[in-house]
Amino acid sequence: MKPRLLVTRAVFPEVTALLAAHFELESNPDDALWSRDDLLARVRDKEALYVVASDRIDAALLDAAPRLRIVATGSVGVDHVDLDACRERGVIVTNTPDVLTEATADLAWALLMAAARRVRESGDWLRDGHWKRWAWDQFLGLDVHGATLGIVGMGRIGSAVARRARGFGMKILYHNRGVAPNEAELGATRVGLEALLREADHVVLVVPHSPATHHLVGARELAWMKPAATLVNVARGGIVDDAALVEALRAGRPAAAGLDVFENEPALEAGLLGLPNAVLTPHVGSATRSARLGMATLAARNLLAWAAGAVPPTCVQAPASAGTTGQR
């Protein structure tokens, strides 16, 4: 008999077909927003879960799923999964690294450039019919070429952001727990968080969210930033204190921000939507067809490997395991 799998969010048809060949599938074809109670009821008889980053996999859910053996998340981030609770119950956790690295680095750059050069603000002004004449000082932005870039979290995505910065002739600083093995190749210099925030003209956050990085950037850290700087977050909400950021952006220090992730997404901090210097996107870092298909397929391959009795290719945590690979 095939193992029972719950797929929480409608996925590409070719991936559904792949899963259906190996699992008895319950999926969410109309992509309805299941309530927490719905989810708890549906996991009761399942051996496997195929989830996304907005599904909270905590001890209560695991307790409601006594037969569960594997959680495959279609995300590189695993902060929505209680890894300790999974380990205690012998539940394998897999994620989807690598396949989204380049797409997410591209979006970091899109946000950085849009924030620095006021693309959204000037575009809205034009659409609103205000453009009557050209002026020397219209929408002056910040230089990107030749500026100093600060990358917080020099993992896979951080390195991909740094590689692009070389084409802009930027000086690259980074903050990381350890020395990045590729720092010489990237021409990047490791510094403390305070030094990075004080020196960088553009700061990109790409660090995983954990208790250690929660509110890593709050009021004090924002005040360390140069007034003429931008802050980009393509990692996770919660790394930045959104209330403090709204206050700081209102004061124009930093000058602008590009944000793809939010503390209580999809809800946004009060005041954020009204800020002309905030470029906002709805958690679309990995949203290219090839990256999303790569993520969806890798999550499926993890499940298929498990179903065949093999070690899934990208285990964050196997039971009785072998450590973690939860880098971004």
- Whole-number minimum distance, CB 279 to ligand 8YV, in Å? 18
Task: Please provide the size of the chain in residues.
Answer: 328
53 binds ligand 8YV (CB under 6 A): yes
Q: Does 302 participate in binding ligand 8YV (rule CB under 6 A)?
A: no
Instruction: Establish whether 236 is a catalytic residue.
Output: yes
- 237: tokens are 């909400």
Beta bridge pairs of residue 173: 150, 189
| Contact (Cβ atoms closer than 8 angstroms) between residue 279 and residue 256 | yes
Amino acid at site 170: M
**Minimum separation from the CB atom of position 100 to ligand 8YV (A):** 5
Query: Which residue of 61, 76, 268, 299 would you call a contact of ligand 8YV, by CB under 6 A?
Result: 76
Min separation Cβ 192 and ligand 8YV, Å: 26
Using the minimum distance from each CB to ligand 8YV, give the nearer residue, 122 or 327. Answer: 327
- The reply on whether position 141 binds ligand 8YV by CB under 6 A is no
Known active-site residue 221: no
Instruction: Choose the binding region for ligand 8YV from 109-117, 199-207, 283-291, 306-314 (rule: CB under 6 A).
Output: 283-291
Q: Which of 213, 286, 314, 317 binds ligand 8YV (CB under 6 A)?
A: 286
Minimal distance, residue 119 CB to ligand 8YV, in Å: 22
Least distance from ligand 8YV to the Cβ atom of residue 64, Å: 22
**Separation CA 110–CA 91 (nearest Å):** 38
Closer Cβ to ligand 8YV, 75 or 159, answer by number? 75
* Dihedral sign computed on CA atoms, order 106, 247, 228, 127: positive
- Tell whether the torsion through CA atoms of 198, 199, 204 and 206 is positive or negative: negative
Give Cα 259 distance to the centre of its chain: 10
Strands (E) across the chain are located at: 4-7, 24-26, 48-51, 70-73, 92-94, 148-152, 171-175, 188-190, 202-205, 230-233, 256-259, 278-280, 315-317
Q: Which residues are catalytic?
A: 236, 265, 283
Residues that bind ligand 8YV (CB under 6 A): 52-53, 74-77, 100, 283, 285-286
